[in-house]
Structure 1
Amino acid sequence: MAMTVLHRLFFARHARPAGRRGLRHRRRRSPLRSLRYMRARAVRLTGSPHAVAIGFAVGVMSAWTPFFGFHIAIALAAAFLLRGSLVAATLGTAFSNPLTIPLILPLTWQIGHRMLDRAPDSGATAAALVRQLEGLHVTELWHPLFEPLTLGALPPAIVSGLCCYLATFVGIRKYRAARAVRFAARRAAARPVDKGSRV
């Protein structure tokens, strides 16, 4: 059963609506859109811009790894060592979700095999791979499965981590500057006018 799910994640083509409906569907459910939403939430967190940005970045980076169920633990440990925001790190791990996993797994799978100089399994040999994995114990899955996925996660994780750090850091500075201007305008508007002031 688990191997069947794995096969579908790696090799199955998911049906998508066609035409304008399909375009709206992709825009609504795109991984980039979900990442922008999470970043918008991160810029509103308390803490220094660096702490929030580094926490969010390591959270997104951990989401690229194949260690599902441990993303939050990995992100929290990295954020703690780097003195980043633990809340932002937890938020960043949400990058790994049902919308992005069908993108993350095939991409890291292909990159990992190229880094290991192996020929990645195509759709024609996918069934053979699944049969091979079904006969293995979980401790024997490192070489055929987790090694290419882990190595393949490094390049996109580093790139996305750097981009998320810069975008979040700049976003926090802009958000807080705009908020300070709004607060100053509200205080000025709420200040009572001295009717007896001299001209």
Structure 2
Amino acid sequence: MFQRKKKKPVSKVILNFIWPSIGWKRLLRFWMIRISRLPGSVYSISAGFACGAAISFTPFVGLHFILGALLAWCIRSNIVASAIGTAIGNPWTFPFIWTWTHNLGLWMGFDAERIVSNDDSISEIFFDKAYEAILNFDFILIGETIWPIIGPMLLGCLPTVIFVWFLFYFLIRALITYYRQSITENNIH
């Protein structure tokens, strides 16, 4: 009933995904209102969002939705909010997140001498060697090529996940409380 007569071309859809036509400020406001209208307590929604955002700082790409939902379920928070929170990890933020967690893991004392040689690029390791090693169940090659990168990231993501959880929990909690109070005040007057 409320569909377009002419569908948008795929190029417009992709461009709108990369750079929203409504603008970043309006998009963020839209998502904040959507999150605030989720059913549940302020704790449930903010803790769920924090779970999704925190899990986005782990190197388990492809499992963020599942791990975020599992963590949200464990602490009895909103699973839908955790799915929305995983949007913190996206193609724009992953390079920064991965660089941060990798360097933090090295700084925390991961064995830096096992890092990959300079002739191998990270994309070659992940997309060529890792794919080949996983398909062939070659655990020695996995240990030699993937572990020097994933290991520091796993170590570095531990304090980062805890910090990010608390950061987003208190941020989203304050925003939801403010939004719900303003709605209540508008309905009273």
Common fold: TM-score over 0.5:
yes
Matches for 1:44-83 after TM superposition, within 5 Å? 44-83=37-76
Q: Which letter maps to 1:102?
A: P
Shift of 1:44: 3.2
Separation in structure 2 between the aligned mates of residue 149 and residue 167 of structure 1, nearest angstrom: 25
**Partner of residue 145 from structure 1, selected from 146, 149, 169:** 149
94-103 or 125-134: which moved more?
125-134
1:24 — aligned with what? none
> Is 1:116–2:109 an aligned residue pair?
yes
CA shift in 2, pair 1:36/1:181, >3 Å: closer
- Determine the structure 2 residue equivalent to 1:93: 86
2:182 maps to what in 1? 178
> 2:160: which partner in 1?
156
Give structure 1 stretches of 5+ with no counterpart: 1-27, 186-199
Gap regions ≥5 residues in structure 2:
1-22
Q: How many angstroms apart in 1 are the aligned matches of 2:102 and 2:163?
A: 17
Change (3 A) 1:132 1:182: closer
Q: Please identify the structure whose Cα radius of gyration is greater.
A: 1
1:103 equivalent in alignment to 2:96: yes
Q: Tell me, what secondary structure is at the counterpart of 1:65? A: coil
State the alpha-carbon separation in 1 of the partners of residues 175 and 99 from structure 2.
Answer: 31
- 1:127 and 2:116 matched: no
When the two structures are superposed, what TM-score results if normalisation uses the length of structure 1?
Answer: 0.66
Q: CA deviation at 1:46?
A: 2.1
* Cα displacement (A) at 1:36: 8.2
Structure 1's consecutive aligned runs of 4 or more residues displaced over 6 angstroms after TM superposition are 34-37
Aligned residues: 154
After superposition, what is the alpha-carbon deviation per residue over 1:117-173, rounded to whole angstroms, capped at 9, x for unaligned? 433899x95434657775562442453232211111122221111011011112211
C-alpha root-mean-square deviation of aligned residues, in Å?
3.1
SS in 2 for 1:156: helix
Q: Deviations over 1:14-39 (max 9, x none)?
A: xxxxxxxxxxxxxx88xxxx988755
